[in-house]
Structure 1
Amino acid sequence: MEHKTSVRNRVFEELRKVAFPDSRFHFDFGEFITDFEGSSDATQRLIDHPFYQKAKCIFITPDNCLEELRYRALQDGKLILITTYSIKRGFWVLDPAKIDPARYLYAATLDGLEREGEPMSLIDIRDKLPELDFMVTGTGAINEEGVRFGKGHGFFDSEWGMLYRIGKITTDTPSAALVHDCQVLTETLYPEVFDTVADAIYTPTRTIEVEAPHKPTCGIVWDLLDPVMFDTIPPLQELKALEDSGDI
């Protein structure tokens, strides 16, 4: 934990030079994933990549740096699964066929997604959505082997674990991170058993492909889960109830 904190602090110091402040959290990178200078170039690299081109249904985190990607994905007719901030109000789906194109940009924002999207329980996701083709997240720090250190809350790894347990993703589902170049490290970082390593990293200046990234199959490791997360995130409570009842 001390190592992760040290890495984050070092990266955040450099990130502050290119980051855009958030209207709620200013430059508190422990509370949100920031947008940054050059993110449009990184987004275009992602959109040009075969992972995106082949995808029809994409999970995209609500990070600030991915707002343009969400907008472009709606324009491209792709179905988007997304969580609200901290997952506390759960999963939502943005269906471009059900949203006025004039409101795509608003729907791509954290405030707009709940007004324009549809809330989805895990059962809804399992039974009503197609298999997810691509998982995209922002992050705090990442190395060239795709090992991520996020804000420290473990949201993306929890999202991966929940979607894996209900059968919407597999170890073959590609995941990716969109970051600034200053967030990419050359040093060795060691993933936990539940950490999802990126298949690809998109920055304003390059696309990094990762060979044989680690994809967790453990779902949610309940003994390691922060009790506060369980108490405040309804989808985790739903998953536990489904597992306990044998419904998955």
Structure 2
Amino acid sequence: MSDHTFIDSKSAIRRRIYYDLLQRAIPDSRYGYDFTAFYPDFRDSSFALNRITGLSCYQSADTIFITPDNSLEALRHQALKDGKKALVPTYAMRRGFFVLDPRRISDQDFRFASLLDGMERPGIGRSVEVAQLKEEIGKIDLCVTGAGAVDARGRRLGNGRGFFDLAWAILSDRGIVGPGTPVAAVVHECQIVDEEQHPEEWDVRCDFVATQDKLISIESVEQPEGGVLWDKLKPEQWQTISVLQELKGIQMMEKIMNGTGSLHELPKPTPNLSSADELMGIQMMEQIMRDYKI
């Protein structure tokens, strides 16, 4: 089967699920029913979330990675109430990662902290740089994500932007997730597809899939371990996701410290970055590298 056939098949699945979700999904205040922009919450999603919180890996977890999907808002809230630290990427990873620590957030603010607009407010979540992740987090005990569709073997079909896979690659590079880190997806029953998906080498698979009707457990899941595949990045990812620039700088610093790299290999700022803040971040990393005593 050709690559074009795979693409056509994925498009057909997305179209079918779009019409199925129209009858079941809760619209987003900013994006309405544009499911290419977000993974929606859906009626009776609380049953799916209860299946996640019933997992032994959830109950024993100290820190959970939870994507910023609408369907997981209540899970972020519940995790805080259960005393668990949550690492949440910002929407489209434009502003990196935020840590929600229930020990540093007042109980009455837990609900507000579970909202994407709330977690970035002062005194709620804390922005954490890639260089701080290992010290701040240590390791992730469970990852939970939304999805466009999932097959019976835990292979996800997203919206083509790959933010969860990219976040996994960054965390994997820093040793914060690994082959033994369980991954769970929360989807509506209509998002479970019979068509077998054909993952790319960077695609993260699910150990568990929770719907409003059932929990699917998948055996012998193998996850990508290579970190960020730099040559596979889309130009807009490199240009707009500042944590990638930071990670590349850190990797170069480590090479220099090991005697295997030089300042000439440091990534250069691109003129098409989406914000002055992102450009400033890269320039700061360059300055750190120049000041570093070799």
Alignment of 1:160-239 (within 5 A): 160-239=168-247
Q: Aligned AA for 1:125?
A: L
Q: Aligned partners of 2:96, 2:23: CA distance in 1, in Å?
A: 32
Q: Aligned partners of 2:252, 2:72: CA distance in 1, in Å?
A: 35
Q: Aligned partners of 1:114, 1:230: CA distance in 2, in Å?
A: 23
Q: TM-score of the superposition, structure 1-length normalised?
A: 0.97
Residue 92 of structure 2 aligns with which residue? 86
1:25-84 deviation per Cα after TM superposition (whole angstroms, max 9, x unaligned): 000000011000111010011101112111110000000000000000000000000011
Segment drifting more, 87-96 vs 235-244: 235-244
Matched position secondary structure for 2:197: coil
Q: How many residues align?
A: 248
Q: In the TM superposition, what is the alpha-carbon distance from 1:245 to its structure 2 partner?
A: 2.6
Q: Aligned AA for 2:207?
A: D
Given that 1:91 and 1:121 are in contact with CA atoms closer than 8 Å, whether structure 2 keeps it comes out as yes
Q: Aligned AA for 2:101?
A: D
> Does the alignment pair 1:119 with 2:127?
yes
Given that 1:43 and 1:178 are in contact with CA atoms closer than 8 Å, whether structure 2 keeps it comes out as yes
Q: TM-score of the superposition, structure 2-length normalised?
A: 0.82
Given that 2:42 and 2:188 are in contact with CA atoms closer than 8 Å, whether structure 1 keeps it comes out as yes
Residue 285 of structure 2 aligns with which residue? none
Q: Alignment partner for residue 135 of structure 1, among 136, 139, 143?
A: 143
> Does the alignment pair 1:49 with 2:55?
yes
Matched position secondary structure for 1:96: coil
Q: In the TM superposition, what is the alpha-carbon distance from 1:206 to its structure 2 partner?
A: 0.3
Q: In the TM superposition, what is the alpha-carbon distance from 1:130 to its structure 2 partner?
A: 2.1
Given that 1:12 and 1:140 are in contact with CA atoms closer than 8 Å, whether structure 2 keeps it comes out as no
Matched position secondary structure for 1:4: helix
Task: Could you tell me which runs of 5 or more consecutive residues in structure 2 were left unpaired when the two chains were aligned.
Answer: 1-6, 258-294
Using CA pairs under 8 Å that are at least 6 residues apart, name the structure with larger relative contact order, 1 or 2. 1
Indicate the structure (1 or 2) with the bigger Cα radius of gyration. 2
Segment drifting more, 71-80 vs 144-153: 144-153
Residue 40 of structure 1 aligns with which residue? 46
Q: Aligned AA for 2:9?
A: H
Residue 108 of structure 2 aligns with which residue? 102
Residue 23 of structure 1 aligns with which residue? 29
Q: How many percent of aligned residue pairs carry the same amino acid?
A: 41
1:9-38 deviation per Cα after TM superposition (whole angstroms, max 9, x unaligned): 111211111000000000000001100011
Matched position secondary structure for 1:104: helix
Given that 2:131 and 2:250 are in contact with CA atoms closer than 8 Å, whether structure 1 keeps it comes out as no
Q: Aligned AA for 1:183?
A: Q
Q: In the TM superposition, what is the alpha-carbon distance from 1:214 to its structure 2 partner?
A: 2.6
Q: Aligned partners of 1:187, 1:3: CA distance in 2, in Å?
A: 9
RMSD: 1.2
Q: Aligned AA for 2:184?
A: A
Q: Aligned partners of 1:208, 1:52: CA distance in 2, in Å?
A: 15
